[in-house]
A and B are shown apart, each in its own frame.
Chain A
Amino acid sequence: MCLAIPAKILNITGLSADANFGGAKRKIRLDLLPSAKVNDYVLIHAGFAISKISQEEAQTTENILKEMIDNETN
C-alpha cells in the first residue's frame, strides 16, 4: 500500500521539483499542487505532492517513520 510521506521542497523547475525525504533526495511532481514553494513541507504520494503540511506535522511523521525503521533493523 502506498503511504503518503512528508518531504521538504528544495528546488523547483516548472512542475518538477527535488525534495528531501528525511535525508534522501528524490524528484517529485507538483501537477496536483502547483502553488507549492521552495522550503514548503508537503505530503508525497506515489511521486506527487498532494498537500502542504506544517513543519511540525512533517517532523512528527518523520520521527515515527525513523522509529519504525530503527526497530526493523534491530
Chain B
Amino acid sequence: MVKNIETAKKYCLITLLEKNLLRSHQAPIVLCKKNKSAKFTTKHLANSNHSLGIMLPNAPLHHLLFTNNKLNALVMTSGNKSNEPICIDDSTYKKIGNIADFFLTNNRPIHNRLDDSIVFHNPLSNKKTFVRKSRGYTPEPIKIFNKQSGSSILALGAELKNSICITRGNKAYVSQYLGDMDNLEAINFQKEAINKFSKFLTVSPSIIACDLHPNYATTQLANEIVSQNSKITKVSIQHHHAHIASVMAENKLRKPLIGFAFDGTGYGQDGAIWGGECFYFDGKKFLRKAHFDYFDLPSGDDASKNIWKVGLSLLHKAGVKDIPKHLKVFPYKTILEMIEKGQCQKSSSVGRIFDAVAAITGLQLTSSYEAHAAMALEAIALDIKPQKGYNFIFKKNDDKILINIDQSIREIVKDFFNKTPTSIISAKFHLMIAQIVVDMFKKLSIELKTKTVIFSGGVFQNKVLLELLKTKLEPLGANYYTNEFVPTNDGGISLGQAWLAGNFK
C-alpha cells in the first residue's frame, strides 16, 4: 500500500487505466510494471515478477496511517496462512503468530470475509482483467440467460482459486474468491458462502454444477447435497469447457465459435490432465479440435511444485539425451524410469510446459505456488523482441490436431548449452506459443467458417503472450473475446459451469 499516486509512480510505471483503477472507489490491488530505476531497497519484494501489486489507502485507518507518519509504503499481506481463508477471530491469530511483527485488528467482528481484489491492465482487451475478484466488486449480478428461469443453479466452481455462482431468474451472482479447496478451512468457508449467498438471494438451487473430477472436494460436496435431497440434480462440467463457457456467459454468446483454453490443470474427459486445449463450439456442444501433444506428468499434482520433473519429461519426449547438470541433482533416473514404464498420467497442460522450460533452462527448479516459475519466465521475456520463435508442428491424429513442440525443446536445449541468455530463450518460447495460437486460429477459422474466438484460462494472464497475441490477431480480423467480468483463471469456472448447466444440460 502506498501513500498516493505520486509515490506509486516512484516504484512503478503506471498507465492511465492503472491510475484510474487505483483511484476507483473499489481501490483494488493493481499489478503495475516495476520501475527498474526505482531505488528499491529490497529484492525480497515480488523478486521474480515484472510487476508489483500496488494499492492506495481505502479505509479511514489506512489514511490515518499515512497522514500521521512519514510513511511512503507499507508491505501488506492478508491475515491468513497460505491458501487458507482470512482469520476472523483472535483465536485464529495464534495460527499465524509467526508471520509478522505486528497485527492490525479491529473491534468490529468480521461477518463476511473478503480479500482485496487484484486486477491488471490486459494488453489484449485493453481493459482491466481480474486476477482475483473480491472486495469492492462482489457480489455483482450479470445477466446470462435470455429468459427468466424458474430454477436456480448452484455452481461449485474449481478446486483452485474457487468461487461459487448462484443463478436467479436470468442473472448469475458470482461469490468472492474463496481460495483453494485443498484444506478443511476453505471447504468450510465455501459451505458458509453457499449458505449466506442462498439466503441473501432467497433461492433454493435445484441444479448443482460441479467439475468432472471424481475426487475434488467440490465434487464430494455436490454428491453430499444430492444424496440429502432427491429433488436436486447434479451436472458435471469439464473444466476447460467451463473456461470457454465463462466468456460465452459474459457476452451471451451462443453461436459457433473457436475457444482456446490454456492453463495449469483440469481433468479431461479421457482422464488425462488437460490444459492446452482448442475447442469448436458448434452451437450445442464442444468438440475438441486440437491440443498439445500429451507428455508424461510424473507424480501428477506434485509436478506443479517439483517442476524439474516436467522438465525431464519434456526432454525425454523430445529424445534429448544430454540432460542439463542442474536437473541431475534430483533423482532424475527414477523419474525417467517411471516415464519409460508408463506409470505417469498424460497431460497437455501449457502451464506445465511453461514450468518445464523454466526448469530446463535452470531459471527455476521448484515452485512454491501455482505458476511461480511460469511467471518468472514471463518476467524475463518482457521487452525482448526476438525475430523468430522456436519451431513446432501440427500433426493430424484422426479428428484432432496435435500440437507438437519436441523440436522446440531440442532447440531450447541447444540454446542453453550455447549459453544463450535465458531471457532470449524465454522470449523465443513465448513467441512460439503465440504463433501456435495464431496459426491454429487461422487454420480452424477457415475450416469451421468462423472468426469468433475465445481465450480463457490462467495462461492468458501472461502479459508477454497477451501483447504478442494483440499484435498478431488484429490484422487477421479476428473477433476475439477474453474474460472481463470474472477472472480468466479458475476464479471464473463457476460462472461457466452455471451457464452450461442452465443452457445445455
B83–chain A nearest beta-carbon distance, Å: 23
B9–chain A nearest beta-carbon distance, Å: 26
Q: In the complex, what distance in Å separates the CA atom of A47 from the CA atom of B110?
A: 13
Residues of A20-57 at the interface with B, using a CB-CB cut-off of 8 Å, are 27, 29, 31-32, 45-48, 50
A65–chain B nearest beta-carbon distance, Å: 15
A1 touches B106 (CB 8 A): no
Residues of B79-120 at the interface with A, using a CB-CB cut-off of 8 Å, are 106-108, 114
Q: In the complex, what distance in Å separates the CA atom of A46 from the CA atom of B59?
A: 7
Which residues of B lie under 8 Å from residue A64 when comparing CB positions?
none
Which residues of A lie under 8 Å from residue B64 when comparing CB positions?
31-32, 48
A45 touches B59 (CB 8 A): yes
Residues of B370-422 at the interface with A, using a CB-CB cut-off of 8 Å, are none
Which residues of B lie under 8 Å from residue A45 when comparing CB positions?
59-60
A1 touches B63 (CB 8 A): no
B505 contacts the other chain (CB 8 A): no
| Contact A32 to B63, CB < 8 A, known contacts A1-B135, A1-B136, A46-B108 | yes
Interchain CB contact (< 8 A) of B60 among A1, A27, A32, A72: A32
Which residues of A lie under 8 Å from residue B108 when comparing CB positions?
46-47
* Chain B residue nearest in CB terms to A73: B199
| Contact A1 to B114, CB < 8 A, known contacts A32-B64, A46-B108, A72-B200 | yes
A47 touches B106 (CB 8 A): yes
Which residues of A lie under 8 Å from residue B63 when comparing CB positions?
32
B16 contacts the other chain (CB 8 A): no
B61 contacts the other chain (CB 8 A): yes
A48 touches B61 (CB 8 A): yes
Which residues of B lie under 8 Å from residue A48 when comparing CB positions?
59-61, 64
A3–chain B nearest beta-carbon distance, Å: 11
Most buried by B among A29, A31, A50: A31
Q: In the complex, what distance in Å separates the CA atom of A1 from the CA atom of B107?
A: 17
A31 touches B60 (CB 8 A): yes
B424–chain A nearest beta-carbon distance, Å: 45
* Chain B residue nearest in CB terms to A44: B60
Q: In the complex, what distance in Å separates the CA atom of A46 from the CA atom of B199?
A: 24
Which residues of A lie under 8 Å from residue B107 when comparing CB positions?
27, 47
B60 touches A47 (CB 8 A): yes
Which residues of B lie under 8 Å from residue A1 when comparing CB positions?
114, 135-136, 138
A50 touches B60 (CB 8 A): yes
* Chain A residue nearest in CB terms to B139: A1
Q: In the complex, what distance in Å separates the CA atom of A32 from the CA atom of B62?
A: 11
Q: In the complex, what distance in Å separates the CA atom of A1 from the CA atom of B24?
A: 14
Which residues of B lie under 8 Å from residue A32 when comparing CB positions?
60, 63-64
* Chain B residue nearest in CB terms to A32: B60
Residues of B213-232 at the interface with A, using a CB-CB cut-off of 8 Å, are none
| Contact A2 to B59, CB < 8 A, known contacts A46-B108, A47-B106, A47-B108 | yes
* Chain B residue nearest in CB terms to A47: B108
Q: In the complex, what distance in Å separates the CA atom of A50 from the CA atom of B59?
A: 10
Which residues of B lie under 8 Å from residue A27 when comparing CB positions?
107
* Chain B residue nearest in CB terms to A27: B107
Q: In the complex, what distance in Å separates the CA atom of A35 from the CA atom of B107?
A: 24
A50–chain B nearest beta-carbon distance, Å: 6
* Chain A residue nearest in CB terms to B137: A1
- Write the B58-74 contact mask toward A (1 if CB under 8 angstroms, else 0): 01110110000000000
Q: In the complex, what distance in Å separates the CA atom of A48 from the CA atom of B61?
A: 8
B88–chain A nearest beta-carbon distance, Å: 15
B61 touches A46 (CB 8 A): yes
Q: In the complex, what distance in Å separates the CA atom of A48 from the CA atom of B57?
A: 14
* Chain B residue nearest in CB terms to A46: B59
B62–chain A nearest beta-carbon distance, Å: 9
Q: In the complex, what distance in Å separates the CA atom of A47 from the CA atom of B104?
A: 14
| Contact A72 to B199, CB < 8 A, known contacts A1-B136, A47-B60 | yes
Which residues of A lie under 8 Å from residue B61 when comparing CB positions?
46-48
Which residues of B lie under 8 Å from residue A31 when comparing CB positions?
60, 64
A15–chain B nearest beta-carbon distance, Å: 11
Q: In the complex, what distance in Å separates the CA atom of A17 from the CA atom of B396?
A: 74
Residues of B290-345 at the interface with A, using a CB-CB cut-off of 8 Å, are none
Which residues of B lie under 8 Å from residue A46 when comparing CB positions?
59-61, 106, 108
Q: In the complex, what distance in Å separates the CA atom of A72 from the CA atom of B182?
A: 32
B470–chain A nearest beta-carbon distance, Å: 32
Which residues of B lie under 8 Å from residue A50 when comparing CB positions?
60
Q: In the complex, what distance in Å separates the CA atom of A27 from the CA atom of B108?
A: 10
Q: In the complex, what distance in Å separates the CA atom of A72 from the CA atom of B135?
A: 22
* Chain B residue nearest in CB terms to A45: B60
B-to-A contact residues, CB < 8 Å? 59-61, 63-64, 106-108, 114, 135-136, 138, 199-200
What are 17 residue pairs bridging A and B, where the CB atoms are less than 8 Å apart in the complex? A1-B135, A1-B136, A2-B59, A29-B60, A31-B64, A32-B60, A45-B59, A46-B60, A46-B61, A47-B60, A47-B61, A47-B106, A47-B108, A48-B60, A48-B61, A72-B199, A72-B200
List the 3 closest pairs (A to B, CB-CB), nearest first.
Answer: A48-B60, A46-B59, A32-B60
A31-B60, A72-B200 known; 4 other A-B pairs, CB under 8 Å? A47-B60, A47-B108, A48-B64, A50-B60
